[in-house]
Amino acid sequence: MKQYAICAYQPDGPVPLPEVLGPIMEKVGGWRARLQSAGAWVFTAGLEPPATATVLRVTDGEVSMTDGPFAEGKEYLGGFTIIDVADLDEALRWGTEFAEITGLPTEVRPLYDGSTA
Amino acid sequence: MTEAQAGSGGAGASAGEIEGIYRQEYGRAVAVLVRVFGDIDLAEDAVQDAFAAALPRWRASGLPPSPAGWLITTARNKGIDHLRRERLRQEKYVQAILLAGQAAPQQAESAVHNDTDAEPGADVPDDRLRLMFTCCHPALADTARVALTLRLLGGLTTAEIARAFLVPEATMAQRIVRAKAKIRDAGIPYQVPGAADLPERLAAVLAAIYLIFNEGYAASSGDELIRTGLCAEAIRLGRLLAALMPAEPEVAGLLALMLLTDARRASRVSPDGDLVLLADQDRGRWNTEQIAEGHELVRACLRRNQPGRYQIQAAINAVHTDAATAAQTDWRQILQLYDQLMVIAPSQVVALNRAVAVAEVHGPAAALAITDEIRLDGYYLLPAIRADLLARLGRTADAAAAFATAAQLTQSSAQRRFLELRRARLTAADDVGAG
């Protein structure tokens, strides 16, 4: 088995209205329940918007803080789910379902498992 | 055949024979060993080693009864030897990282010992279909799919593939290394996809093979020998896929399309290297054997009646190659097929090709009106076809301007010469007419 991160990229801007977001979140909940009953769900995290982020940088041994995200962009990582499945095809099937539910660009990326140097 | 040639202990195999075996069996051997070892690099190295071992042996004492079986068994032993050496090294490595308090890496060899098939001389399992689907996985870039297919299934070297696609060898090498790393690290499976995914995945395999064919067929530039080799390789892969997936009509359609297109290769370029239009080609130089095979495939597709884009394109080519002279071409049928193609796989390029058929059936004015609506910025064929239509409508100045635009846009010197020649003929004819 292999672990993958299914990452959702959200457009920068206001959060959609509850009547839009509600049904989508309900479907995402169903998607997660299906992952769990398939024994494939590991972990899910949603992130606050990039305006809440703080970046730390080390320069000459000194740590400096800046307000805002590491990279400014039109889209940012909004959250991710870690899944445990047989191979990329299975991961892509779950990722496709997620993308279809949310309409968001979705990145499927393997977790480094330490077996390849 | 003399007795010496027939006897297994007699004369050795010729370089040509061994080269033939290499072309024919390389992909099969790699495909089996990828399954056995689960590692593309190890499989490739083992097959290369096996061929290196085979060469002096076969030259001296001839081919074994089953060269494929011999190669696969030998390659597997080479691979196991390699893994054993690797394990010895890895045990030292394991000790080192255990000291660092990490988990030991998994051993890959257990899978090898469980695998007992592929006796020499027996029927060798065919894993090439899996290998095709892995090489053409949609998670890989298009260019990588083509390169991997040629490398792993065709046995072409990285240098050969680089020359064929006119990129520096280092670029191609990096492309292949990156693709193989993604297959390994992203966990792209080594299997034929299930029914739900098959249509989309098969389309990717067909597209890769057709891309190889077109790269070879387009007389854009580069070494003619390499290009002919690419067409032959694409047709070989098409035949292999047709044999492995006989129930898929689009596979037969693609094979027919490639055979019928390639059949006209010899007549497509004049002895001076100039392009010859379909209507002006010497049909006596067409490859009748390939045309007969292509027609038979198209007829079988029609009987199945599950049309697809490759089958329809093959049928269009079948109509062209059915006509003894250009004047006898059944353009009405070709137009019907293009109408069908526009429903199944509409695109601006298909619309442009359809316009050519419209010109033959309904006249150049109707066709010109269609091309007014086509947006294909930078594609030389649009102004080239418009130039031809304008010339037929007697709009000589507009036609000459369109030929000039087309000549500017094409990448191929042969095409440019052809377009400039047509423009020159137009203005010369006009001068005579005016004088």
Task: Give the closest residue to B172 by CA, choosing from B209, B133, B146.
Answer: B146
Distances (CA, A) of B434 to B400, B404, B423, B427, B428: 16, 21, 17, 10, 10
Nearest to B185 among A89, A91, A116 (CB): A116
Chain B partners of A114 at a C-beta cutoff of 8 Å? 102-103, 105
Q: Which two tokens stand for residue A13?
A: 């801007």
DSSP bridge partners of A6: A81, A108
Chain A partners of B107 at a C-beta cutoff of 8 Å? none
C-alpha to C-alpha distance for A45 and A56, rounded to whole angstroms:
21
Q: Which two tokens stand for residue B342?
A: 């526009």
C-alpha to C-alpha distance for B207 and B152, rounded to whole angstroms:
17
Q: In which residue are the tokens 């068994």 written? A: B73
Chain B partners of A106 at a C-beta cutoff of 8 Å? none
**DSSP sequence for A27-90:** HHHHHHHHHHHTT-EEEEEE---GGG-EEEEEETTEEEEEES-SS--SEEEEEEEEEEESSHHH
What is the per-residue pLDDT for B109? 38
Residue type for position B281:
Q
DSSP bridge partners of A21: none
Chain A residue closest to B192 (CA)?
A: A89
What is the per-residue pLDDT for B111? 36
Nearest Cα of chain B lies from the Cα of A22 at a distance, in angstroms, of 30
Q: Chain A contact for B200, CB < 8 A? A: no
What is the per-residue pLDDT for B169? 95
Chain A partners of B102 at a C-beta cutoff of 8 Å? 114
Nearest Cα of chain A lies from the Cα of B189 at a distance, in angstroms, of 6
Residue A24 φ then ψ, to 5° = -65, -45
Spatial CB neighbours of B406, under 8 Å, sequence gap ≥ 6: B380, B381, B382, B383, B384, B387, B419
What is the per-residue pLDDT for B365? 97
What is the per-residue pLDDT for B94? 57
C-alpha to C-alpha distance for B17 and B9, rounded to whole angstroms:
16
- Contact predicate B150/B212, CB 8 Å: yes
Q: Chain A contact for B193, CB < 8 A? A: yes
Going residue by residue through chain B, which has 435 residues, state the pLDDT in tens, using 9 for 90 and above: 343 444 444 578 888 888 888 888 999 999 999 999 999 999 999 999 999 999 999 999 999 999 999 999 999 999 999 998 888 877 766 555 554 443 333 333 333 433 434 344 445 557 999 999 999 999 999 999 999 999 999 999 999 899 888 889 999 999 999 999 999 999 999 999 999 889 999 999 999 999 999 888 875 555 677 778 889 999 999 999 999 999 999 999 999 999 999 999 888 887 777 778 888 899 999 999 999 999 999 999 999 999 999 999 999 999 999 999 999 999 999 999 999 999 999 999 999 999 999 999 999 999 999 999 999 988 999 999 999 999 999 999 999 999 999 999 987 778 888 899 999 988 776 665 554
Q: Chain A contact for B173, CB < 8 A? A: no
What is the per-residue pLDDT for B220? 54
Q: Chain B contact for A5, CB < 8 A? A: no
What is the per-residue pLDDT for A30? 97
Spatial CB neighbours of B207, under 8 Å, sequence gap ≥ 6: B136, B142
Low-confidence ranges of chain A (pLDDT < 70): 115-117
Task: Give the closest residue to A40 by CA, choosing from A90, A76, A80.
Answer: A90
C-alpha to C-alpha distance for B339 and A64, rounded to whole angstroms:
65
Nearest to B105 among A92, A110, A115 (CB): A115
Q: Which two tokens stand for residue B108?
A: 């890959």
Residue from B188, B191, B198, B200 whose CB has the most chain A CBs within 10 Å, to mutate: B188
- Contact predicate B241/B251, CB 8 Å: yes
Angle, CA B312 vertex, CA B308 and CA B315 arms, to 5°: 145
